[in-house]
Amino acid sequence: MSAFFHNFHTHTARCNHAQGSDREMVLGAIEAGVQVLGFSDHTPYPGISPAAGRNRMPVSQTAEYFASLTALKEEFAGQIELHIGFEAEYLAPLWKGLLDHLADFPCDYLILGADAHSPAEMGDIAAMERTRAWAAQFGLPITDTIRYTMQK
């Protein structure tokens, strides 16, 4: 009896830890009975090092991310409701650059991702609170929070 009608946590292949095309994901969601699907790839951070950025969408793909998903939004209107967002982690030194980069894109929402670099850090909510304060700067709704441990 547990129908999964809404999902706001969807990565794309752009972050290197999801597979398949955007279109395949939409088709798969429709087939599974999802009514509202939100895409939330990891925020593209201008200036991030290649090592730190290896598991997030590159800045060079932001425009294509919105173009692809906007086209799918129109193509599948009436079959599924699509939203375009990001899973966002607070990286203090790069914060301003991220805000500037995303300012002109029609972002619908954010998921807050709190990086924890060891299991011990999972008990510390400071990173989550910092990220929440940062998201408020966007003036965007927060649909979900994710906590996970990064493998170093």
Determine how β-strand 81-88 pairs with β-strand 109-116. Answer: parallel
Q: Does residue 41 belong to the site contacting Zn ion (CB under 5 A)? A: no
Measured from the CB atom, is 77 or 150 closer to Zn ion? 150
Catalogue the long-range contacts made by 77-83 (C-beta closer than 8 Å, 24 or more residues apart).
Answer: 79/30, 80/26, 80/29, 80/30, 80/34, 80/35, 80/36, 80/37, 81/35, 81/36, 81/37, 82/26, 82/36, 82/37, 82/38, 82/39, 83/8, 83/36, 83/37, 83/38, 83/39, 83/108, 83/109
Site string for Zn ion, 105-124 (x = CB under 5 A): --------------------
Measured from the CB atom, is 35 or 145 closer to Zn ion? 145
Least distance CB 146 / Zn ion (angstroms) = 6
Least distance CB 41 / Zn ion (angstroms) = 8
Q: Does residue 87 belong to the site contacting Zn ion (CB under 5 A)? A: yes
Measured from the CB atom, is 22 or 87 closer to Zn ion? 87
Least distance CB 83 / Zn ion (angstroms) = 15
Q: Does residue 89 belong to the site contacting Zn ion (CB under 5 A)? A: no
Measured from the CB atom, is 80 or 146 closer to Zn ion? 146
The four Cα atoms 120, 121, 126, 129 give a dihedral, to 10 degrees, of: -120
Give the residues lining the site for Zn ion (CB under 5 A). 87
